[in-house]
Chains A and B, each alone.
Chain A
Amino acid sequence: MTIRPHWTTLLMAIVAGFCLLVILFGGLIETVLDPRAMNLDWRLSPPLTHGFLLGSDAFGRDVAARMLAGLRWSVSIATLATLIASVIGVTLGLVAARRESWLSTLLRQITTFTQAFPAFVLAVTVIAILRGNGIQAVVLTLGLITWPVFARVAYAEGQAIFQREYVLAAAMMGMSRMRLYLRHVLPGLVPSLSVLIVFHFAEMIIAESALSFLGIGTPMGAPTWGVMLSESQTYIRDAPWLLIAPAGAIVTLIMTAHLFAQHLRTRAP
């Protein structure tokens, strides 16, 4: 990248540290800042009034508390979905890359198919059909739909790695299949996979907030950024902070992830 001064590193560290703290101490934070506590006397208070750092919404709920709860929700879903997608994708991709088989053919077909299909539409359809409301439905659907990206990269790079001398030598010396994958093949994938994982995480944050914005897959009353965005539309004239807070959070998180991915990419050999 052309623009990469040190403030990006600082920004990445702050955002990542903040997310980590919020997730680790989420339960503790919610005892002080309850995202569901309503305060009907102080509805739609602007930021920095009545003790609301980011204002309050139409039910007098603390926007700051809901932002933190939304962060836990978004980051957990995106992390788990990325984990599921990467494990399935990398496993299948590597198995298919080891030698040409029916699995490789099937995998190529599935990849072409998913490329031609809007994944988000599939997610909406599947969650609708499963009638799943809740974190599991969203995580599983996103994870199970988006793995082909990882399979494609693992397959393409795995094919090259399996041809390397050190891999062939290790295989000839009788190293077990599992050990070969973990010790020699997987480390070779790390540079490109790490970039892909971070980008995928950002995609999953967008997908999750878009789904909950549409009210699909999110339980009633859950404090997610998407739900906050869609609720803000009713009061857009009187309470613009209801829109700005979640929008700013989503953009900050995604931009940080993008910067981090670019950072990893420039460092990759």
Chain B
Amino acid sequence: MRNPGGVLSNLLRRAATGVRDLALVTLATTTVLFFLIRLTGDPSVMIAGESATPAQLAQVRAAYGFDRSLIEQYLVYAGKVLHFDMGVSLQDGQSAIHKVLQAYPATLMLAAAAITANIVISVPIGAWLGQSRGAAARVVRIALNVLQGMPGFVSALLLVNIFAVGLGWLPSVGYGRPETLILPVVSVVSFMAPKLIRVIEANTSAALRSNFVRTARSIGASNRQILWRHVLPNALLGAIALIGAEIAAMLTGLVIIETIFAWPGIGWLLVQSTLNLDFPVVQAIALVMVVSVFLANAATEALQTLADPRLRTKGRPE
């Protein structure tokens, strides 16, 4: 490192922009959610129920401050959000944010397991596909095409049908035991892996054709050395970028996968709260998801910068 001070100030500047962007994204999300709920009718009817008497409605209005002006309500709401107060669940009166944070570790665990499994499976397959032109590679490519056309929840249902119902090898629902993790993780990997394999395959074959590999070969490096020292590090850089970009997509997939497997994470909670019209919890989940995706993206970018010296001075790649 020729200029360590430059790297540090660069990182600090990026951290500052990151914090600013996070604040903007949070502000935008909460504002949109606030006005969406206010736009679509009287929230006091939503809380008290369709059959509430006018007296009950007035009580709810006073209790929640709906009798005040919209701007005033928004300011109060924004102030509460700043203190991590998203209201209470309409189902059981628990703090909405508390409910969400209780469900959060389950999602985090599933996501971490899925990302790890995805990398462990995709990197060798992608690296192998990038080097081979044979019949086996053709078959794998066709299989990947089929897998890519399969939405995550469809493969999840098929997996449940085969391994839980048909063969009885694995439990289809449950939480807490390691074997209950297998089917959900495989379902998530089945829709994330094809893309990652594609990227690693493309990067591997591009790296194999590059000048630095030709140079390495000309000075007598073995195939194994070329793969480990020159090709894979370059192929993995693209993989880091893709994994970051796919985190939002994975959260989407998790909403359905968690519902199918009754996995008590925030995706499952989102669907339950949506069906129960529990808006404070839905809002809290949306906010937590936005912040998580944002932080994951920031972490990916930082990881990329650490892994790829070319990004340290030039800024982010196009």
Contact = CB atoms under 8 A, between A and B. Distances in A.
Contact-size category for A: 35 or more
B277 A250 contact: no
B271 A130 contact: no
Contacts of B270: 121, 124-125
A116 B18 CA distance: 13
A3 B161 contact: no
28 contacts: A3-B145, A112-B21, A117-B248, A118-B248, A121-B251, A121-B252, A121-B270, A125-B270, A125-B282, A125-B286, A128-B274, A128-B282, A129-B33, A129-B40, A130-B40, A131-B40, A210-B256, A229-B157, A233-B160, A236-B165, A237-B165, A243-B157, A243-B161, A247-B154, A250-B154, A254-B149, A255-B145, A258-B149
Interface string B9-42: 0000000000001001100110001001100100
Interface residues of B, number: 49
B158 interface: yes
B277 A131 contact: yes
Contacts of A250: 151, 154
Contacts of A229: 153-154, 157
A89 to B, nearest CB: 18
A214 B251 contact: no
Contacts of A206: 151
Interface string A104-131: 0000010011011111111011111111
Contacts of A2: 138, 141
A103 to B, nearest CB: 17
Interface stretch (B96-104, B213-221, B289-297): B289-297
A256 B153 CA distance: 19
Contacts of B192: none
B28 A113 contact: yes
Q: Which of B40, B148, B154, B270 has the most CB of A within 10 A?
A: B154
A121 B255 contact: yes
Given A116-B290, A121-B270, A254-B149, 5 more contacts: A109-B24, A129-B279, A206-B151, A216-B275, A236-B161
Nearest to A255: B149
B150 interface: yes
B271 A121 contact: no
Contacts of B150: 251, 254
Contact of A255 (B33, B146, B249, B259): B146
Given A216-B274, A255-B146, A126 B36 contact: yes
Interface in B109-159: 138, 141-142, 145-146, 148-151, 153-154, 157-158
Contact of B293 (A117, A127, A128, A131): A117
A210 B28 contact: no
A247 B273 CA distance: 27
Interface of B: 21, 24-25, 28-29, 33, 36-37, 40, 138, 141-142, 145-146, 148-151, 153-154, 157-158, 160-161, 165, 245, 248-249, 251-252, 255-256, 259, 270-271, 273-275, 277, 279, 282-283, 285-286, 289-290, 293-294, 297
Interface string A231-254: 011001100100100010011001
A117 B290 contact: yes
Contacts of B21: 112
A213 interface: yes
A251 B282 contact: no
A209 interface: yes
B151 A124 contact: no
Given A210-B151, A213-B153, A258-B145, A121 B286 contact: yes
A215 interface: yes
Contacts of B161: 236, 240, 243
B224 to A, nearest CB: 26
A213 B255 CA distance: 12
B91 to A, nearest CB: 14
Interface string A10-50: 00000000000000000000000000000000000000000
Q: Which of A124, A130, A258 has the most CB of B within 10 A?
A: A124
Nearest to A225: B154
Contacts of A122: 286
Nearest to A112: B21
A3 B142 contact: yes
A128 B277 contact: yes
Contacts of A117: 29, 248, 289-290, 293
A112 to B, nearest CB: 8
